[in-house]
Amino acid sequence: MPTTLTRPAVQDPRLDAEIAARLKAGQTQITIAAWGLSIKELGYRFDRRMDCYCNPLYMTGERAGETYPSLGLYPVEADTGIGWANIAARRDQKWEQLKAQRESFFAVSRGCLVECAGKGHLIEYAQKGFPNLADKDIPWIDELEDREIKEGRFTARFREYARLKFSDLNAISVVEIDASHHPTLKALGAKVIGYDFQDSQSAIRILRIVNDLSV
């Protein structure tokens, strides 16, 4: 029997837009409880201590610049407690089924779209200066208080330079949970150092950390 879903009378329009886009793309909306039972059958559970609230940002496409309230859930192996993307995690058929659920399921709770880990192309976007995003959608540009910008002098050149602040990184290390993305990352010149950021032992040589806000 299909699960009956209810939503509050007043809801963030960004959330409404994301729900509509997900349904149009063929995804299925379920409850967190139903999702939990589904992954339990695969030998996993959600570690709710790891809940992550954020506002993912679309970087390209017709929805570039749009964002929505998100709650990210973290699946772990039920018997070991190891994160599903940990390098020591199982890589069997049930793991593949769990990966497929990331692409096909979502839920809605407390004004947020509930999902598992996202994916994007942050390195390429950074190297190209985040094309298709307006200046107001790039925090370090939108927050500029430079006097010359206020007076309209050198505005275009200054802002273009700010856009490309990450384009000249001479060494890029990445942590990517999905091994299927590793070849693409390597082709972009990145060194893949692991599957789970929490397992990174040292950041002594890291100068900048840029979170992937796209999904």
Q: Checking DSSP bridges between strand 44-46 and strand 112-115, what pairing results, if any?
A: unpaired
The pLDDT value given to residue 209: 46
Low-confidence ranges of the chain (pLDDT < 70): 1-10, 59-60, 87, 117-125, 131-133, 137, 142-159, 166-171, 176-181, 184-185, 187-188, 195-215
The pLDDT, as a whole number, for residue 205 is: 46
Which tokens hold the place of 133?
């995003």
Confidence at residue 4, expressed as pLDDT on a 0 to 100 scale: 46
Looking at residue 18, its pLDDT comes to 95
d(CA 190, CA 24): 34
Q: Which residue in 172, 163, 70 sits closest to 125, CA to CA?
A: 163
Residue 79: count other Cβ atoms within 10 Å of its Cβ. Answer: 10
What per-residue confidence (pLDDT) applies to 64?
A: 80
